[in-house]
Amino acid sequence: MKLEEKLVNFVHESRFEDMPDAQILLMKQVLINALGAIIAGAETPGCTEAVAQAREWGGKDEATILVYGDRVSAGNAAFANAFIARALVLDEAMVGGLHVGGSAVPAALATAELVGGCNGRDLLTALAVGFELACRMHLATVYNGFDATGVCVVFGATAVAGRLLSLTKDQLWNALGHALNRAGGSWQGTIDGSIAARVLQGTAAQGGIANAQLAKRGITGPVNFLEGIYGYFHLFAGDKYDPEMVGGELGTRFDLSKIFLKKYPSCGTTNASIDAILSLMEEEGVTPDNVAEINVRVTPFTFNLTGKPFSYGDNPRVSAMYSIQYCVANTLVRKKCRLRHFDETWVKAPELIELINKIHVFANPAWDETKQLVSDMEVRLTDGTVLRRYVEFPRGTAENPLTSDDLLEKFMDCLSYGGNKLSPANSDKLIALVNRLEDLEDIRDLITFLTDQN
């Protein structure tokens, strides 16, 4: 059987009952994480402009721009919500820079509204198959500067939308073919300190819905979208890939379990360094006053993304979120890493400057991308003592998962940062609804908690 057909069959035929409890729980965690990110990030600079653009694009009254409450076309609502979901770098990730939930959740919610509602079981199943498809493709991809979110997530979002639009098998096949022609995007925007990554998150969600809608209309896409002469694996893997890695054990092996639900509101490649300095503070008494120098070794990819010398740039929040130097200094001074710590006034606090200059980041060329989250930290104290912490699996990875209390603490930080738009009673109800989502008859009951009117 063709690899394309194997994956289409998996996306089309999987049932809620086929999903292991662990994967369903993970999808609930992804959902509440994405909703928290949207609540917290809704009024972040750049997001208000994206919402204004979605309003101007307008379209039929199909779906909701969350928090704001505007009704626009499903694709435009998904764009705005996904753009916001990525704004504070709170969404889950996978080694290699894949961010599925920031697009898949907005695509799922907008499509659910478009079709007049769906139940929680259908939403969870759609998310699970979309995640699994994107994760499997991601693990077989060689990016060489392409942004994983721009390349792979549109396939996951297309699968999610296709499921909820009840596409036939042939229609779903065409929709995923259309996704091939939308795959792309570069890491250069992030390295240059822009917010272009949010645009990729938005267009992946928007494109996923559009692909499914076009296919439902009978518009055909490339049949051999994966293994064709100019298919996905020629373009993004140099024709070197393991078909078994992509299409083997479907329904029994779930690569989505490898995603990283970050504990801290910064790029995932900074999180191990935050864990390392927190450990040294708690166990060895390291403080800003007794630090002489900190040296951090990371992979070349991590160094290029978050290891360069820190500068405020045009967007201090983005610069700080993507800086190991800033994240370590911030944690040393404030003993935590919270959303408000990346606001411009906090980023530019004078007590951080001298400490940032004591922190140096180096690339270890011996580490390949499979160790992308690793941080090897050496701290030299003013008395000459040298301390070291090696963190291979930061908090939130599959090997070192967050507890339910960790996730709740993160969600409550989102609510606080977002101005407590949800009352305590409504935030409790929202969490309870997600926890028992498989029993929810209409997912639109969830959306009512996520507008300004509430």
Q: What is the pLDDT of residue 453?
A: 46
Predicted confidence at residue 144, as pLDDT, reads 87
Per-residue pLDDT averaged across 269-294, rounded?
97
**Ramachandran category for residue 193: left, alpha or beta (phi over 0 → left; psi -120 to 50 → alpha):** left
Task: Of 227-236, 288-297, 415-424, give the lowest mean pLDDT range.
Answer: 415-424
Alpha helices, H only, 183-323: 188-191, 196-216, 232-237, 243-247, 268-284, 300-302, 316-321
CA 98 – CA 135 distance, rounded (Å) = 8
Pick from 58-67, 165-174, 249-258, 421-430: least confident: 421-430
Q: Could you tell me what percent of the chain has a pLDDT over 70?
A: 99
- Measured between alpha carbons, how far is 16 from 24 in angstroms, rounded to an integer? 9
CATH class of 3-263+415-450: mainly alpha
How buried is 244 (Cβ within 10 angstroms: 0-12 exposed, 13-18 middle, 19+ buried)? exposed
Contact criterion met (CB below 8 Å) for 177 and 223: yes
- Segment 15-31 shows an average pLDDT of 96
The pLDDT value given to residue 81: 98
Where in the chain is CATH 3.30.1330.120? 268-391
Strands (E), 304-412: 359-363, 375-381, 386-391
Distance separating alpha carbons of residues 410 and 339, to the nearest angstrom: 9
* Pairwise CA distance, residues 315 & 415, whole Å: 23
Over residues 392-421, the mean pLDDT reads 92
20 pLDDT exceeds 50?
A: yes
Cβ count near 123 (within 10 Å): 26
Say yes or no to pLDDT of 309 above 60. yes
Does the structure show a pLDDT above 90 at 157?
yes
The two tokens of residue 12 are: 């089309």
Residue 24 has pLDDT above 80, yes or no: yes
> Over the range 309-327, which residues count as b (16 or more CB within 10 Å of their CB) and which as e?
ebeeeebbbbbbbbbbbbb
Which whole number is the average pLDDT over 273-288?
97
Taking the CA atoms of 193, 196, 202 and 205 in sequence, report the sign of the dihedral they define.
Answer: negative
Say what percent of the chain tops pLDDT 90: 88
What fold characterizes domain 268-391?
60s Ribosomal Protein L30; Chain: A; (3.30.1330)
Computed over every residue of the chain, the mean pLDDT equals: 94
Total-model pTM: 0.93
Q: Read off the pLDDT of residues 316-325 as tens digits, 9 standing for 90 and up.
A: 998 999 999 9
Q: Among the ranges 116-120, 188-192, 418-422, which has the highest mean pLDDT value?
A: 116-120
Q: Looking at per-residue confidence, does 285 or 195 come out higher?
A: 285
List every span in the chain annotated with CATH 1.10.4100.10.
3-263+415-450
Neighbouring CB atoms inside 10 A of 23's CB total 19
Can you tell me which residue has the tokens 């109800």?
429
Q: Residue 369's pLDDT is what? A: 64
